[in-house]
């Protein structure tokens, strides 16, 4: 490189202001026309040393800072398509079987979605001059965090283990900004200089569509141990990520899934730049947890997704089939938000819904997030929804057959990503086709129901690894519930609430089917602990297990036979000895993540627990080998040299002797991951037959001459029957706007989401959305 090309300005964004007072007080100009590159790098390392040593405690939390104590500026500058980056070297050589990694934090992958770019499709980043020092995480996207300040009140809503987990996680999420579209790259040292490029794992975080970030998930250990490049990222969440005010997306498509568009934009950036970090753009695996897995499920089926942006998918504890995975009536929540912040509701919302978006674009951020827009229990207020572009109409009926088959054949010429150099402010995508009015993708409501194994071609050209843990819904219960259990009456309230919010037809029949299945009839009396356990099992199966098995069945049925198409199912069944939850409770949602990211190998980091046994370290090694082998070849069994180079031990031999067999809907073989791994088949077969076969048959509209009230619960609006907010009946025949029974009117109005909630679109009944909305609003 010529020396005059090194003349540069040190670019330090606002979120990366340094502790070094000399750098804070001067707008540093490095006029380096006479400097060699090595001299420039030396100067940068000397000037930024205090930042590298001390900045981590502020930006990443103390536990992550522990493994970064020896971090130093790297020996090279990476030239990306948009500008130059200078990252960190993280020495991990002191830990067994690890080597140093190169870390680039806070790398912009899109133009900041601020001001007029709020509620707009994602745009490519603007190029920058000089060298960007990538040693700090970016701010996370704006979000309303769980309130745990009053621990006593918090424990009435969550287990103690969940509270302890959030105490570690939330400090990573306090630094927020609308300028948040950044990613982090973790790569083995010298990977960028090697001709042979490494597979890439892109992690899409979960927790919620409304809060969390990719920042807490440090990919350094996984990258080092598995010899892969790991990318984590932030994407827009909640209101800013998923606002949809369009009542008629099948006729007037408009981008509303901005968070999903952000993920697509990050994948474009990876295709353009990841080779410079040692990654192979032709071997990209998307891995997501919870809501992140649901996002990947949508990307696999989206007509906007360009073929070739990713090649494999790992769905962990989430899919697009869960009741929380797609907002059935997003306009309802958009209007509630608009009214909260004093935006005018147009007289003809069908034609002028953009006025709501335009008004909300100018509302101060703090006002948007002061509004308390509550969703019914087990549902989501601001998450993915049918917008006609990223998610097309047809998710509510058998048109999904043709829709998804078309999507899997789409040409790579179709793209919803806009370049800042040539793209305007258009909305991207074409008008939506297909049938039903997008009444949702929720598992339980039958929105995909009725089709056979081929009802949805969810990208059969992707290799897929998917799975769950054994106690997915434990975190939903209070500390008292976990400690003492509860009686059958409370269980019935919980299940009744789920049934009302997830289904529309034959609610009584569905409710009694579930209660019958999850009652231990061998016992003459039901102990509160046993009742609690059956409620946990019912919600886990309904919200996580059945939806992901349904997705796996469809993916496997639409894939060519191995080795062309491969599908693997796992069940993670191990509780950390020094973890957050009592033993014998079952493995909690997210308890597999520390093992996937390699926390036991370095005595814990980030928001994960800190203490692990020797056996737990071996378990983490095995999981990382399976995951990275899958990312490398599509087959978790193809052992890489890292595996064969490890010393023989009893713990490791347990996994080396296992051959993980391919999943298919007939044999349904899966790997049970724990201290005694084994191949099993038909996980929770009888329970899942209820959710996947019987309940969809019960959840049919029935004959036209059957009165609508037949589908509702007896005393449908008696709030004493439920626990938490519920949606109004879908037929508009509730006996009262309040509630019957002993509940107070104020309590009822908060728990029965009526009045404004009667804005529900009734898409399946063929009503004119605009007339219906305006009739309910009565002029505003």
For 413-442, what is each residue's pLDDT tens digit?
333 444 333 333 333 333 333 333 333 334
pLDDT value of residue 194: 75
Peptide bond into 750 cis (omega under 30): no
Rounded Cα distance between 547 and 195, Å, is 41
Q: What is the pTM of this model?
A: 0.83
pLDDT value of residue 637: 92
> Quick check: 131 and 84 in contact, CB under 8 A?
yes
E strands, 170-273, are 182-188, 198-204, 229-233
Instruction: Compute the C-alpha angle 720/474/464, nearest 5°.
Output: 120
- Please give the residue that has the higher pLDDT: either 82 or 408: 82
Rounded Cα distance between 460 and 561, Å, is 11
Rounded Cα distance between 162 and 154, Å, is 10
Residue 90: both structure tokens together: 């993280």
Rounded Cα distance between 592 and 559, Å, is 27
How is residue 720 annotated by DSSP? G
616, pLDDT greater than 50: yes
- Please give the residue that has the higher pLDDT: either 716 or 142: 142
Backbone angles phi, psi at 756, to 5 degrees: -60, -30
> What is the bridge-based pairing of β-strands 182-188 and 279-289?
unpaired
Residue 94: both structure tokens together: 């002191």
For 536-554, what is each residue's pLDDT tens digit?
999 999 999 999 999 999 9
pLDDT value of residue 36: 52
Domains of the chain plus CATH, in order, are 72-142+177-370 (3.40.50.1820), 463-696 (3.40.50.1820)
User: Cα dihedral sign for 256, 212, 459, 380?
Assistant: negative
Rounded Cα distance between 574 and 672, Å, is 9
- Please give the residue that has the higher pLDDT: either 314 or 459: 314
Rounded Cα distance between 205 and 409, Å, is 28
pLDDT value of residue 643: 52
Q: What is the mean pLDDT of the chain?
A: 80
> Quick check: 344 and 355 in contact, CB under 8 A?
yes
412, pLDDT greater than 60: no
CA distances from 393 to 257, 329, 404, 505 (A): 13, 13, 11, 21
Helices (H), 353-468: 354-361, 365-370, 400-408
Q: Which residues on adjacent β-strands are paired with residue 104?
A: 185
User: Cα dihedral sign for 91, 94, 95, 97?
Assistant: positive
Where residue 703 falls among pLDDT bands split at 50, 70, 90? low
The greatest distance separating any two alpha carbons of the chain, rounded to the nearest whole angstrom, comes to: 88
pLDDT value of residue 644: 53
pLDDT value of residue 706: 65
Rounded Cα distance between 676 and 585, Å, is 18
Residue 478: HSE in the Cβ half-sphere, 13 Å Cα cutoff: 15
Instruction: Compute the C-alpha angle 609/577/473, nearest 5°.
Output: 75
Where residue 772 falls among pLDDT bands split at 50, 70, 90? very low
Percentages (nearest 5) of helix, strand, coil residues in the chain: 40, 10, 50
291, pLDDT greater than 50: yes
Rounded Cα distance between 336 and 346, Å, is 13
Rounded Cα distance between 196 and 765, Å, is 57
């Amino acid at each position: 490189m010529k020396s005059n090309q090194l003349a540069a300005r040190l670019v330090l964004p606002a979120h990366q202001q340094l502790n070094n007072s000399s750098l804070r007080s001067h707008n540093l100009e490095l006029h380096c026309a006479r400097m060699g590159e090595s001299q420039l790098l030396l100067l940068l390392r000397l000037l930024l040393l205090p930042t590298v040593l001390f900045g981590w405690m502020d930006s990443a939390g103390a536990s992550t800072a522990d493994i970064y104590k020896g971090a130093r500026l790297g020996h090279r500058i990476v030239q990306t398509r948009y500008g130059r980056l200078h990252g960190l070297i993280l020495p991990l050589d002191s830990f067994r079987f690890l080597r140093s990694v190169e870390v680039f934090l806070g790398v912009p992958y899109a133009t900041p979605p601020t001001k007029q770019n709020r509620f707009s499709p994602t745009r490519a980043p603007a190029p920058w001059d000089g060298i960007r020092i990538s040693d700090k995480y970016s701010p996370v996207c704006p979000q309303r965090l769980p309130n745990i300040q009053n621990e006593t009140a918090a424990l009435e809503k969550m287990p103690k283990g969940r509270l302890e987990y959030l105490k570690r996680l939330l400090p990573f999420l306090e630094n927020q900004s609308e300028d948040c579209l950044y990613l982090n790259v973790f790569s083995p040292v010298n990977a960028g200089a090697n001709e042979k490029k490494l597979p890439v794992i892109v992690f899409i975080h979960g927790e919620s569509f409304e809060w969390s970030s990719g920042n807490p998930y440090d990919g350094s250990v996984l990258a080092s141990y598995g010899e892969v490049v790991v990318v984590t990222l932030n994407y827009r969440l909640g209101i800013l990520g998923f606002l949809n005010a369009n009542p008629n997306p099948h006729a007037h498509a408009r981008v509303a899934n901005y968070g999903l568009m952000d993920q697509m934009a990050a994948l474009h950036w990876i295709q353009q730049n990841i080779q410079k970090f040692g990654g192979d753009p032709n071997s990209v695996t998307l891995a997501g947890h919870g809501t992140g897995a649901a996002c990947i499920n949508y990307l696999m089926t989206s007509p906007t997704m360009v073929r070739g942006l990713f090649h494999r998918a790992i769905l962990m504890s989430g899919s697009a089939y869960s009741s929380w995975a797609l907002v059935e009536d997003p306009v309802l929540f958009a209007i509630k938000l608009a009214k909260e912040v004093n935006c005018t509701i147009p007289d003809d919302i069908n034609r002028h819904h953009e006025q709501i978006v335009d008004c909300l674009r100018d509302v101060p951020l703090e006002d948007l997030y002061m509004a308390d827009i509550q969703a019914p229990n087990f549902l989501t207020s601001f998450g993915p929804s049918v917008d006609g572009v990223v998610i097309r109409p047809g998710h509510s009926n058998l048109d999904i057959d043709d829709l998804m088959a078309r999507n899997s054949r789409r040409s790579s010429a179709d793209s919803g990503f806009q370049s800042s150099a040539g793209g305007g402010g258009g909305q991207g995508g074409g008008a939506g086709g297909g049938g039903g009015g997008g009444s949702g993708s929720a598992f339980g409501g039958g929105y995909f129901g009725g089709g056979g194994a081929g009802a949805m071609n969810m990208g059969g050209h992707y290799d897929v690894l998917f799975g769950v843990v054994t106690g997915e819904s434990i975190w939903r219960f209070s500390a008292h519930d976990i400690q003492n259990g509860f009686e059958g009456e409370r269980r019935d309230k919980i299940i009744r609430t789920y049934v009302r919010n997830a289904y529309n037809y034959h609610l009584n029949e569905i409710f009694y089917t579930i209660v019958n299945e999850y009652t231990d009839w061998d016992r003459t009396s039901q102990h509160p602990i046993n009742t609690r356990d059956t409620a946990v099992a019912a919600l886990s199966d309904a919200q996580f297990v059945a939806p992901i098995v349904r997705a796996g069945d469809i993916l496997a049925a639409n894939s060519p036979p191995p080795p062309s198409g491969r599908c693997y199912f796992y069940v993670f069944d191990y509780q950390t000895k020094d973890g957050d939850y009592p033993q014998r409770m079952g493995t909690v949602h997210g308890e597999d993540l520390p093992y996937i990211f390699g926390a036991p190998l370095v005595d814990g980091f980030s928001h994960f627990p800190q203490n692990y046994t020797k056996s737990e370290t071996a378990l983490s090694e095995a999981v990382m080998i399976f995951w990275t082998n899958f990312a490398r070849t599509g087959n978790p069994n193809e052992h890489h040299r890292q595996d064969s180079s490890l010393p023989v031990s009893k713990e490791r031999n347990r996994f080396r002797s296992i051959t993980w067999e391919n999943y298919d809907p007939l044999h349904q073989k899966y790997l049970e991951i724990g201290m005694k791994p084994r191949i099993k088949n038909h996980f929770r077969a009888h329970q899942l037959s209820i959710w996947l076969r019987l309940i969809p048959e019960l959840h049919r509209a029935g004959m036209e001459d059957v009165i609508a009230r037949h589908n509702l619960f007896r005393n449908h609006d008696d709030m004493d029957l439920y626990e938490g907010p519920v949606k109004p009946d879908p037929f508009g025949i509730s006996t009262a706007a309040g509630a019957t029974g002993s509940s107070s009117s104020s309590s009822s109005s908060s728990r029965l989401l009526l009045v404004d909630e009667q804005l529900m679109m009734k898409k399946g009944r063929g009503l004119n959305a605009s007339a219906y909305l305006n009739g309910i609003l009565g002029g505003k």
